[in-house]
Structure 1
Amino acid sequence: MAGKSASLLTKTQRNRIQNDFAELNEAKKHRDQQRIRERIKSGFLDFQLLADYPDHQLALMFEDVPDDELREALADTTILVERLREQSNIEREELIKEVRANVESYSNSGTDTKTLGRIDLRTTGEIRRQTENELTERFEPGRWDKRSNSLMRLGIGASILVVVGNLLYPTESTGLVQPILRPLLSAAVLILLISAIGWILINAAQGLKYSVLPFLAALSNDPKRAMRGTLTKLVKNPWKTIRESWNDL
């Protein structure tokens, strides 16, 4: 019959930590605390041997542990690691660099360690740069947005010329400026029409791509859910829904 597996702490030590050493006098309390520190330090340093432990052994190690219990244990372990880092005044960026170097070394020398390649730790600077890039990609106008804005500005400029020209045309009594205004007004009207048609077509295509087609796809997959989601948005906050639809255009 197999004996019970050894633990980082003995059963007595776990009980005394949970009870905050309440049943011991100061001398015995300090003695047990020192023993616990030594056991934890020795066990913690053993992780240097386990960092590149085979994946299948890690899988078998916790196969009988429920996912929620393992998740809670990993969370507490992460807290302890971060506390030790803070206590030792080790910068997180320095630690991440050390982790990356060790991961590369272990990946090159070990076998059955595919999980090492999935470790993704990023420094504060890297997270900030990634966030900035994502925000830039999200809010920076795309190629067709820029073209749409250019057409809108062109149309506004042409409409101003049309208004000013129509104001000047009847007030000009010498007849010298009118021959010049006629082709200018015609060109301005033509530019206004072309820019307006182009702006409408671009925004209609964008609305079709980003609003109508996704809705039709959702409608074909689950009609009741798609209609219920749309009606719910309209009932709860109609102005917000209309504004979002306008922004999509």
Structure 2
Amino acid sequence: MPDEPVSLLTNDQRRRLSGGDADAEAAEEGQDRQAIRERVTAGLGDFEHLVDYPDEEFELALEAVDDEELTRTLAEMRVVEERIRLLRGIEGDAVVASARNAVAAVDADGAATLGRVEFHTTAEQRELAEREAGTSPWLERAEALLQFGLLFLVVSFVVAFLAPDASSGPVGSAPFLIGSLAVAAGLVIVGLRGVKHDLVPAVRGFL
């Protein structure tokens, strides 16, 4: 009978972590925990060699694993990853930067999925959420400036209509100037966000 494939943990160690070996002696348990720690440490080095593991090999390796089980396993991997990061106090954005470097450093031949992998920093995630929700602090400021400016422009037009002589002086022209500046500022904010979030990504994708 062929040997079972080697995994990160042995079956006995899995039972130990699941609380299924309550009768084990303290000394034996301590040795087993030490062995588990050593296996975990050694296993971390395996991921470096799996970054550019061929897509076809992944498909063959996982063909017997159904989507439900794989989804659960991926979720558990993410939980473990986050716990380790938090325990060591590593910034999430530092992990993202390192992941991007890891993808850029390997040959993607046979691993087409590497080109579809995306990592987002905290700021980028916030911007994506704001774009999906159609709002952001800057858009709210732009909207407030536009409303404020339009109000002053309406006032200036009313003054110009009712009292043409008064509107030509410094006091009469103030509402028009204030309104124009506010509207211009609001439009500039909207324009800059459009360049940053629409034009620049489009140009990058084209290049």
**Which TM bucket (shorter chain)?**
0.5 to 0.7
Residue 90 of structure 2: aligned partner: 90
Question: Match of 2:37?
Answer: 37
> Secondary structure of the residue that 1:135 maps to in structure 2?
coil
Task: Show the 5 A alignment for 1:7-22.
Answer: 7-19=7-19, 21-22=21-22
Partners of 2:93 and 2:51 in 1: CA distance: 19
Flag the 1:88–1:154 CA change in 2: closer, same or farther, 3 A.
closer
**How far is 1:44 from its partner?**
2.1
Q: Once the two structures are superposed, what CA deviation does each residue of 1:118-177 show, in whole Å capped at 9, x if it has no partner?
A: 222211122234445541598666xxxx7xx96x98888888999x89xxxxxxxxxxxx
Q: Counterpart of 2:126?
A: 128
Aligned residues, how many?
Answer: 158
User: Residues 55 and 113 of structure 1 are in contact (CA less than 8 Å); yes or no, is this contact kept in structure 2?
Assistant: yes
Give yes or no for the alignment of 1:99 onto 2:73: no
CA distance in 2 between partners of 1:31 and 1:84 (Å) = 22
- The letter of the residue matching 1:30 is G
**Hey, what does 2:50 align to over in structure 1?**
50
AA aligned to 2:7 is S
- C-alpha separation between the residues in 2 aligned to 1:114 and 1:25? 50
Partner of 1:26: 26
* Alpha-carbon spacing, 1:159–1:6, altered in 2? closer, same or farther (3 Å): same
State the one-letter code of the partner of 1:102: A
Alignment partner of 2:135: what SS? Answer: helix
Normalization by structure 2: what TM-score? Answer: 0.63
- After superposition, the CA RMSD in angstroms is 3.2
Q: Specify the SS of the correspondent of 1:112.
A: coil
Unaligned runs of 5+ in 2: 165-207
| Greater C-alpha Rg | 1
Unmatched tracts of structure 1, length 5 or more = 166-179, 181-249
2:81 maps to 81
C-alpha change, 1:50 and 1:161, in structure 2 (3 Å) is: closer
Q: Structure 1's 37 and 157: CA in aligned 2 closer, same or farther, altered over 3 A?
A: same
Distance in 1 between the 2:115 and 2:39 partners?
A: 31
TM-score w.r.t. the length of structure 1 is: 0.53
Instruction: Tell me, yes or no, if the aligned pair for 1:21 and 1:29 is still in contact at 8 Å.
Output: no
